[in-house]
Structure 1
């Protein structure tokens, strides 16, 4: 019988409030059932934060500049399984909340550090943002159209995939290892490391000679006309990913181009500009919904390009419950899914009633 609550039910996490990547990583832990207590500062962490990233938490407000506030956080760390901070290197130590101070109280504690440049190296103490981390990691240069400047993909690669998700993976691995060793450790999650890790496939492709050209001229970066997006008559777009021959054949059939003797060979890059022009002409003749209907049920790997606001309404996403309503906001649902310990639906952040209330609860046997 499924036990709703998530596979991390019973895991206690102390999160020092921060910006994007740390909150996202802790959101993932909370989604999976961890009891995450966010230690906020009077006035908040600085830049405005998305309520979505802070879902699933209980919140306490503590002045970390006061000895009493630091003592309160150390007491929480003493009863927690995981401690997450996202300061620049050395800041937590100066506050008296570094790994040594926390793990002196709790040797089983997994102490996770979320930074852009990591805990060491020439740039460790420098300020930065997603675009800079992915630039140095080699993840920004390949993104964009041929002959144009690199294009940053919002802040999804550095902050969230290379940052917060890497943090969550590191925490989970350290918790698993703790079951064998009985002791915790420090997890150094850096966005530059995580963003570089995401390019492993590109490094392999380049070494094998399968990523030969500059930005925007290769198989998966918009260079190939059968792996690209096309404008429709109503200003929408369709995404085409017809890489395999059978999918490409279905694409041509859907576009009414199958059997056209004037189409260039798809495997010859010299003809890609002609193919792209022909595809663009066809897609421009109908609306996005009309093309969606043409390719519905057809394995051509052709799909409508949906905005974030439209995605929750797609029939597949509705059927799977890929989006949920948290408070008054529609947000992505927790992922992945578990057969025996499914995650509960997330709830908005809520007040914990103070550090003392959390400590009383955490003193109870688990």
Structure 2
């Protein structure tokens, strides 16, 4: 889908590489500029691969040298976008900031991936996913009353609020550049993206769906939306919000005539009803609950590990997961015309350095596939 889009990635960690991988998964041509060759603890060179580089070409360059900087400058001359995830000011100190690169290529879209953003009181501070989503408000409701909020790994921050927002920003910038001939700088901050992701949840406030106090909203205290421990120690999830789904859930649990559950939205009794559900769901195994509830309109799913998920009939049918390079991987998403996509191979670090350098020496002829 993105076969004519050319991206130079200045490799870092976390959301930047994921963003570039996602675009490569969708067909973009990505050249990953990595740091010096991998070396073992004994000082010997070693083969190094990162699954975040699947579908990309890998080039090794030292950006602290004139030769390394010139490599990047030559690459961006014919690129649509560049991705970097350094702290604010680092690329400028390397001589590869937006002004320099846009001077080489006025149509370039310069994508900047950070946690705090390019400016603000915390812009220069170190941080990680859980810090960014804490400040933005996105972690606040991740948990129940009386428990510490729990970070949902890197999904809300690094990926949701970071990598995917950067990808959208880059594509929007490229479309604009192709229309106007003018590039742009995309400031993608995880605090911005993760706050924006809260908009759907916050839209529920006027009708009482969410409260300011933790443990008082549907998502963190109701009995019909949450996770429950089963007899075997595994968990299941429920999301029976709508009245018809809730009615079916009560029917399946044989609770239709139980007066405790008649008033679904009586928040004063949610604690009592949730405790009752905890007892009920602890009486059977996850598999047994799946046999009763999975595939029905009660809005049910087992809580699975990635490895378990890869073997679930629905996931197998959609061919979501596959194994390569000795590890479980997920296929690109979304799909187009119903076709699943197998991502490109994962290169060894620096595998394409010689090929790319030869193309640059030939004035870029044949640089992009």
| TM-score scaled by length of structure 2 | 0.90
Specify the alignment match of 1:67 in structure 2: 66
Does structure 2 conserve the Cα–Cα contact (< 8 Å) formed by 1:114 and 1:189? yes
Q: Specify the alignment match of 2:365 in structure 1.
A: 363
Aligned equivalent of 2:7, options 9, 13, 25? 13
Distance, in Å, in 1 between the alignment partners of 2:146 and 2:300 is 26
Q: How does 1:325-336 map to 2 (within 5 A)?
A: 325-336=323-334
Distance (Å, rounded) in 2 between the aligned partners of 1:246 and 1:20:
41
Shift of 1:38: 0.8
**RMSD (Å), alpha carbons:** 2.1
Residue 148 of structure 1 is matched in structure 2 by: 147
In structure 2, the partner of 1:302 is 300
Judging changes above 3 Å, is the alpha-carbon distance between structure 1 residues 263 and 135 closer, same or farther for their aligned structure 2 residues?
closer
2:23 matched to which residue of 1? 29
List per-residue Cα deviations over 1:26-65 (Å, max 9, x = no partner).
1111101111111111156xxxx99332222211111111
CA contact (8 A) 2:166 2:188 kept: yes
1:136 shift after superposition: 1.4
Change (3 A) 1:343 1:111: farther
**2:269 alignment partner, SS class:** helix
Unpaired segments ≥5 residues, structure 2? 39-47
* Residue pairs, 1:145-294, within 5 angstroms: 145-220=144-219, 222-294=220-292
Equivalences, count: 355
Q: Give the gaps of 5 or more residues in structure 1.
A: 1-6
- Rounded to whole Å, the distance in 1 between the matches of 2:295 and 2:194 is 35
Give the match for residue 44 of structure 2. Answer: none
Q: TM-score, normalised by structure 1?
A: 0.91
**Structure 1 residue 262: deviation in Å?**
4.4
SS in 2 for 1:281: helix
State the partner residue of 2:45. none
**What SS does structure 2 have at the residue aligned with 1:79?**
coil
SS, match of residue 8 in structure 2: strand
* Secondary structure at the counterpart of residue 134 of structure 1: helix
Structure 2: how far apart are the matches of 1:349 and 1:252? Answer: 53
> What does the per-residue CA deviation read over 1:96-139, in whole Å, with 9 as the maximum and x for residues that have no partner?
11111111111111111111111111211222111211111111
Going from structure 1 to structure 2, the CA distance change for 1:295 and 1:16 (only over 3 Å counts) comes to same
CA displacement at 1:242 relative to structure 2: 0.5
Secondary structure, in 3 states, of the residue corresponding to 2:134?
helix
